[in-house]
Amino acid sequence: MEETGAYGNRLGGHFRIGDTPALVSRTLHHTPVAVTRCRLDAPSHGPTLPIPAENAYMLVLHLGARIPRELWLDGQSVRTEPMNPGEAALHDLRRRPAFKVYAPINSLNFYIPRRCLDACADDADGGQIGDLNFTPGIGVTDKIVAALGDALLPAFDRADQVNKLFVDHVTAAVVAHIVEAFGGLKLGNGPSRGALAVWQERRVKEIIDANLDGEVTVMQLAAACGLSGHHFSRAFRRSTGVAPHQWLLQRRIEKAKQLLRQSRLPLSEVAAVCGFAHQSHFTRAFARLVGVSPGRWRRLRCG
């Protein structure tokens, strides 16, 4: 069945943008939370097509220069203010927003169905939230959204190096932040659900070791533990001290070190065996985590 939702090329079509790549996660409620990279080098010549009504929100993180714009909700003009670099704006997709912008578009557009917000709140034992609290047409400075968006940007330039655990982790963090910042729910105030049981932690680590290519998702790991995605991610961090995607990277590097010590495999083959897209990806990740390149590490250890 073809998916629907205001992300990817469907969103790009409303803005009259050609190729609009998207990263999609299904950590919450098996429902897509997506991030679309929107870029248009010239100002649009007229209003966008209204985005079809659905029970979801769109969070726009503006990355370009200051941009004047117009906004219509349900066909009615709404007062706006220009968006400044790094500002974020929320839009209720139930109101069929349409836009006109007077400068090039450069943004990350987060697509967040209402059911994902409810699932996040429910998993934190915080109950349900009402409508999100924001002013249509007005951007806000949100350092958390800006930082999470900045973490995702390289994924659009290096799609072959992105693992699903990382995308799941960042998009889940965006949803949790929206629940807190705009829904008024303090997720940290609910009762703690603790760490993973010993068998759960062992099983998850086995699955990660068997999937060093990064194709495993948070939902698959959570299902192996009998937990929801959000609950699993918190419990995994409590058990290991790191997020699942960080654990995956550590395991890749540990396996690489073993191969570098015990074999004469060229670096390109070590990279492939350990799940890296190519040798340069492996070299960058290894140097970032270990402090030296894999070639130098091998020479220092093996002479």
Q: Which residue has the higher pLDDT, 161 or 75?
A: 75
**What would the two tokens of residue 21 be?**
């790549």
* Share of residues in the chain with pLDDT > 70 (%): 93
Predicted pLDDT at 282: 93
pLDDT tens by residue, 206-218: 999 998 888 888 9
Q: Which tens digit of pLDDT belongs to each residue from 66-101?
A: 999 999 999 999 999 999 999 999 999 999 999 998
**Domains defined along the chain, listed by start:** 8-181 (2.60.120.10), 192-241 (1.10.10), 250-302 (1.10.10.60)
What pLDDT does 40 receive? 87
Beta strands in the chain (DSSP E): 22-25, 33-40, 56-62, 69-73, 76-78, 87-92, 98-101, 105-113, 140-141
Ramachandran class of 132: left when φ > 0, alpha when ψ lies in -120 to 50, beta otherwise: beta
